């Protein structure tokens, strides 16, 4: 599915390369518990992921029927961040086909990047946990002085750092936000079918939908 003219592929992280929902739920539950609030079930948390920690907390409080209190949101967002670090991605995993797909793309000479609304330090922690340094050239999360997706600025920044252009880049995500950021950046977009989204990926207007990252990768060279 990779266009021969492509020079770079940029990925979303949560719900695209990595299944992180269980760790996010645990960190959120511990943060909520500091105010005697009940945990949110995993299925609901999966649908709250994608806009960064503050939006996650706002969605959780809304799920619990609580008013949007700015001070409480800020406090719980900070707590969630610190609790997530202590999780150290113990319950997270890379989706099937992600590692082999990245390896094939890298071997084919493509530049690879990550552009996520997950805080930058947490993105890098995940890259460390799964030893992706030799596969991913640029990692950019939120909090790096740029607006969050679907604003195109972070995606365009990653593309520039990869030495590519929007015309020679494919963006891969799992949600409507990912389609919106790709369209705003004038970049082609593919979605995975298994991500964190309420509506099926096939209904979100991407250029293509795959069941595994490996479907996007060039085939292995045949031996003579």
CATH of the domain at 41: 1.10.150.240
Asked if 33 and 12 sit in the same domain, the reply is: no
Q: Are 18 and 178 in contact (CB under 8 A)?
A: no
Q: Are residues 102 and 148 in the same domain?
A: yes
Q: What angle do CA 32, 33, 39 make, to 5 degrees?
A: 65
Residue 180: CA atoms inside 13 Å, Cβ hemisphere, count? 9
Q: What is the number of structural domains in the chain? A: 2
**183 and 155 co-located in one domain:** yes
Q: Is residue 2 part of a domain?
A: no
Q: Select from 56, 87, 118 the last residue of a domain.
A: 87
* Rounded mean pLDDT, 198-206: 96
Q: Does any domain span residue 172? A: yes
Q: Same domain for 15 and 101?
A: yes
Whole-Å CA distances, 80 to 29, 34, 47, 58: 8, 10, 17, 12
Instruction: Give the pLDDT confidence of 116-146 residue by residue, as tens digits.
Output: 999 999 999 999 999 999 999 999 999 878 9
pTM: predicted TM-score of the whole model, two decimal places: 0.94
Same domain for 183 and 135?
yes
The domain boundary, picked from 31, 65, 87, lies at: 87
**What's the rounded mean pLDDT across residues 6-14?**
97
149 in a structural domain: yes
CATH number of the domain at 208, please. 3.40.50.1000
Same domain, 28 and 126: no
Percent of the chain with pLDDT over 90: 91
Q: Which domain holds residue 99?
A: 8-19+93-216
37 in the same domain as 99: no
* Domain assignment present for 222: no
Is residue 108 domain-shared with residue 208, that is, in the same domain?
A: yes
- Residue 2: what pLDDT? 62
Q: Count CA atoms within 13 Å of residue 18 on its CB side.
A: 29
Closest CA to 21 of 99, 112, 126: 126
Residues labelled catalytic: 12
CA distance 165 to 170: 10
- Shared-domain flag, residues 141 and 205: yes
In the listed set 87, 120, 137, which residue is the last one of a domain according to the structure?
Answer: 87
Mean confidence (pLDDT) of the chain = 94
| Range from 12-16, 135-139, 142-146, 213-217 carrying the lowest mean pLDDT | 142-146
Q: Would you tell me the crossing angle of helices 21-33 and 53-63 to the nearest 10 degrees?
A: 70
């Amino acid at each position: 599915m990779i266009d021969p003219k492509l020079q770079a592929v940029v990925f979303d992280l949560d719900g695209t390369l990595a299944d992180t929902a269980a760790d996010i739920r645990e960190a959120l539950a511990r943060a909520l518990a500091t105010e005697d609030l009940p945990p949110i079930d995993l299925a609901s948390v999966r649908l709250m992921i994608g806009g960064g920690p503050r939006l996650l907390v706002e969605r959780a409080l809304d799920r619990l029927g609580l008013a949007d209190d700015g001070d409480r949101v800020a406090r719980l967002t900070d707590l969630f961040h610190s609790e997530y670090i202590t999780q150290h991605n113990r319950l997270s995993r890379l989706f099937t086909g992600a590692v082999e797909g990245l390896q094939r793309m890298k071997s084919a000479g493509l530049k690879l990047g990550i552009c996520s609304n997950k805080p930058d330090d947490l993105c890098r922690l995940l890259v460390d946990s799964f030893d992706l340094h030799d596969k991913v050239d640029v990692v950019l999360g939120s909090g790096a002085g740029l607006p969050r997706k679907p604003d195109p600025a972070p995606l365009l920044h990653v593309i520039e750092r990869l030495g590519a252009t929007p015309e020679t880049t494919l963006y891969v995500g799992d949600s409507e936000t990912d389609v919106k950021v790709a369209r705003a950046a004038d970049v082609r977009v593919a979605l995975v079918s298994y991500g964190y989204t309420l509506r099926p990926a096939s209904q979100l207007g991407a250029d293509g939908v795959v069941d595994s990252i490996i479907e996007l990768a060039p085939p292995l060279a045949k031996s003579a």
